Amino acid sequence: MLNSKIMNKKIWLSLAHMSGVEQKFIQEAFDTNWVVPLGPNVNAFEKSLEDYLEENKKVVALISGTSAIHLALIQLGVGFGDEVICQSFTFVATANPIIYVNASPVFVDSEKETWNMSPDFLEIAIKDRISKTGKKPKAIIPVHLYGMPANMDAILKIANKYSIPVIEDAAEALGSKYKNKKCGTFGEFACLSFNGNKIITTSGGGALVCSTTEETIKTMFYATQARDDAPHYQHSEIGYNYRMSNICAGIGRGQMTVLDYHVARRREIHSKYSDKLSKLSGISLLENPSLDYQSNHWLTCVQIDSVKVGFTQEDLRLAMDKADIETRPLWKPMHLQPVFADSPFYGDGTSEALFEKGLCLPSSPVLSENDIDRVVNVIYSLSKTV
Ligand SMILES: *Cc1c(COP(=O)(O)O)cnc(C)c1O
């Protein structure tokens, strides 16, 4: 009885996993009374992210990945009347900050290889916006969705051609590499997220990766209410309360000790799914398109060809749910979201098709071999009953 209960415990999509040393850093914060935003844990967490990312990048820890994108847009001078090009196939947190600064998003479709921003449609969009509005978009936001690096060479080439800065959304891609360089180091700015289900967590949090010390200073300034250099409280600009707390950064420091393990485990889980599902035609995984791409495989995603397998992605989601296994549809593209119904979109239906046929499988580092088999068995049993 007890055994069968353990065997059939719920399998979650993506769970946090602690190293055990997180509590030591939190305890230190309490012992030294650093229970505030800023502090030694924040400094050490930022330093360890800088060492990890390399490329001489500077990191500012913030309350979320969303706030990181917001502060990047502010520093690029994006405001009322401006347009920002954004990958359509993403989580809404990529696009919302464009609205926070009173600018307008222009959505660009995905390419089939990476599921990320299509360089072809990016250039078509830039040209068309210039001809329609008489000015260039102010920024480009590609995303490394599900940890898969975007086609950065092609995207940066176009960005450079038109001199438009890139904000890289690397929220899901800490540990991923493109051409042997870490995701989060390609843009003028990049955002990271440490939300509960990301590669590492600080319970909630994020960071802005900056290219210069000047940007770092500006980011900290805006993240702490834009206080001028004066003994009293004086403000010449609008600021925000976005700085990460010393307690959350303590969790982050502990998580840095298991980051490599998390990436290795998620890749291993992906490759196990890949092996076990290879015999089933009609189910395909998001795989690295070439050796240039090294996804962290944050979530293993499948595409379901219902004509070949005889069931749809929704049939599979419901069957998993019955078996007490959490799966999730892929992100619904932004150009299909009611809140962005009036925004321009450039594409050919690629992300919409991905959304309609895709599903994310459980991918936590804590997944056991038995858990993976349970997931795979649901897929096989469904393919036999139809
Ligand atoms: C999680 C996520 C974000 C935002 O991160 P938060 O820390 O939740 O604000 C941004 N973009 C993508 C693609 C994400 O998955």
Q: What pLDDT shows up at residue 385?
A: 60
Closest CA to 240 of 64, 7, 59, 42: 64
CATH 3.90.1150.10 region(s) of the chain? 259-383
Question: What does the pLDDT read at residue 7?
Answer: 57
Q: What are the pLDDT digits (tens) for 95-150?
A: 999 999 999 999 999 999 999 999 999 999 999 999 999 999 999 999 999 999 99
Burial (CB count <10 Å: 0-12, 13-18, 19+), residue 283: buried
Around ligand 1, the residues with Cβ closer than 6 Å are 64-66, 90-91, 93-94, 143, 169, 171-172, 193, 195, 206
Please report the pLDDT score of residue 79 as a whole number.
Answer: 98
> Average of pLDDT values for 307-320?
95
Per the prediction, the chain carries an average pLDDT of: 95
What phi and psi values does residue 12 have, to the nearest 5 degrees? -95, 160
Check pLDDT > 80 for residue 304: yes
Q: What pLDDT digit, counting tens, does each position of 145-199 carry?
A: 999 999 999 999 999 999 999 999 999 999 999 999 999 999 999 999 999 899 9
Angle ∠(307,352,71) on CA atoms, nearest 5: 150
Q: Residue 243: which residues within 8 A CB-CB, separation 6 or more?
A: 37, 38, 42, 61, 62, 63, 220, 223, 224
Residue to substitute in 193, 334, 363 for testing ligand 1 pocket (most ligand atoms within 8 angstroms of CB): 193
Q: Whose CA is nearest to atom 2 of ligand 1?
A: 171
Do residues 250 and 68 make contact, with C-beta atoms less than 8 angstroms apart?
Answer: no
Domain 259-383 top-level CATH class: alpha beta
Q: Give pLDDT, residue 5.
A: 47
Region 297-324 average pLDDT: 96
Mutational pocket test of ligand 1: of 94, 145, 301, 332, the residue with most ligand atoms within 8 Å of the beta carbon: 94
Please state the atom number of ligand 1 nearest to the C-alpha of residue 90.
Answer: 13
Tens digit of each residue's pLDDT (9 = 90 or more) over 336-377:
999 999 999 999 999 999 999 999 999 999 999 999 999 999
Mean pLDDT over 244-264 rounds to 96
- Is pLDDT of 3 > 80? no
Split at pLDDT 50, 70, 90, the class of 235 is very high
Among protein residues, the one whose CA lies closest to atom 5 of ligand 1: 65
With H, G, I as helix, E, B as strand and everything else as coil, classify residue 107. Answer: strand
**Rounded Cα distance, 380 and 373, in Å:** 10
- In this prediction, residue 363 carries a pLDDT of 96
CATH no., domain 22-256: 3.40.640.10
pLDDT recorded at residue 151: 98
Delimit the CATH 3.40.640.10 region(s) of the chain.
22-256
Task: Report pLDDT for 383.
Answer: 83
CA of 63 to the centre of ligand 1 (A): 11
